[in-house]
Amino acid sequence: MKHIFQKGTNEALPTVVVFHGTGGTENDLIPLAEMVAPGASILSLRGNVSENGMSRFFRRLAEGVFDEEDLVFRTNEIRDFLNEAAEQYGFDASNLVALGYSNGANIAASLMFHFEGAFKGAMLHHPMVPMRGLKLPDMNGVQVFVGAGRNDGMVPAANTEELIGLLEGAGAAVKANWEHFGHQLTRTEAEGARRWFGEHFLG
């Protein structure tokens, strides 16, 4: 997978794995990761799927309708890549925190839905429920920040609330940050994620 690895100055911190939104690249969210998790190593990925020339992490059949077969395939592909990258760059594959926006938040959530211990924590900005009908792995001890819009035209608030309920039902501790700026990833939302990361991982 196309990616950027940026070694941090504090090896005790989790490596932050970054997943862009539709049409983004591996460069887009590095400044956000640096702001949220100062000193942490960063592994930023580019999705392997192209939709009308726009990079994504998995296919969709329509807006808000995921190609579940491709989602499962891409979830496994990324899991394998993360393990390979950990060997290549010398970071701990069991000490990762995800940072994803929109399509990137959805693939991060899918990794959490499919693999126990995929991440120690996750910052999910404007995510949706990736799949339904799964028996979720044990997420006790996993910290999750969810940034969402009450008036998000792409992600209904009820969908976000359903995702939060599923994560909490699996044992995760979820901090929800609700705003009224649609699907935008705002500065105040980013600052909320920074405070959350500091509380749980810089402590």
- Catalytic positions: 102, 152, 183
Residue 62 has what pLDDT?
A: 87
Q: Mind listing the pLDDT tens digit for each residue in 149-194?
A: 999 999 999 999 999 999 999 999 999 999 999 999 999 999 999 9
Q: Can you give the pTM of this predicted structure?
A: 0.96
Of 1, 15, 131, 8, give the one whose Cα is nearest residue 56.
1
pLDDT along the chain (203 residues), means of 10: 97 96 97 98 97 95 90 98 98 97 98 98 98 96 97 95 98 97 96 98 84
Q: What pLDDT does 13 receive?
A: 97
pLDDT of residue 31: 98
Collapsing DSSP to helix, strand or coil, 156 comes out as: coil
